Amino acid sequence: MTAPSRPPLKSITPTPNGQQHADQTPARTAVGEPKGVAEGVPIAVRPAPHPGDGRRPVAWLLHIVAPPSWGITPSARSWCTCGYERQAIGRAAVLQLIAAHGEHRTACPLLDPTSEGRTAA
C-alpha cells in the first residue's frame, strides 16, 4: 500500500538566472551637519577617562561536583582570570586540586604587579 502524496507546504521562489545588479540610487551631496543635530552639540559624547588606582578585579573560581552517592566519581574545575585552569576527576585528584587552588590564590601573578607573569598575561 502506498501513502498518498502530500502537497508542498511552502512555495519555493525560483532563482533568477544570470547576474542582477542592485538598484542604484543617486548619491546625495552632504552639506553641513547631519539633520537633527543642534549647532555646537557634539554627535557622540564620551565620558572622561577615570584614572586607575592600580587595583584590578581578580576572579578565582572553584567548581566541585560531589554527588551524595559514594558510587559516583566526584570532579572539580579550578580557573582564574590570569589563565590558570585545572580539572580533576576522582576523590584524590579533587583533593589535590583544592589544595592547588588555595596555593594559586596566594601566588596569582595578577596580585603582584612586579611579577613577570602579569606582563605575560
> What's the predicted TM-score (pTM) here?
0.47
Cα separation, 97 vs 89, whole angstroms: 10
pLDDT in tens, 21-69: 666 666 665 565 555 556 666 666 566 666 666 666 667 889 999 888 8
Cα separation, 34 vs 21, whole angstroms: 29
Q: 72 near 91, Cβ under 8 Å? A: no
Q: 87 near 94, Cβ under 8 Å? A: no
Nearest to 62 by CA among 103, 13, 21: 103
pLDDT in tens, 67-117: 888 889 999 999 988 888 999 999 999 999 999 999 988 888 887 666 554
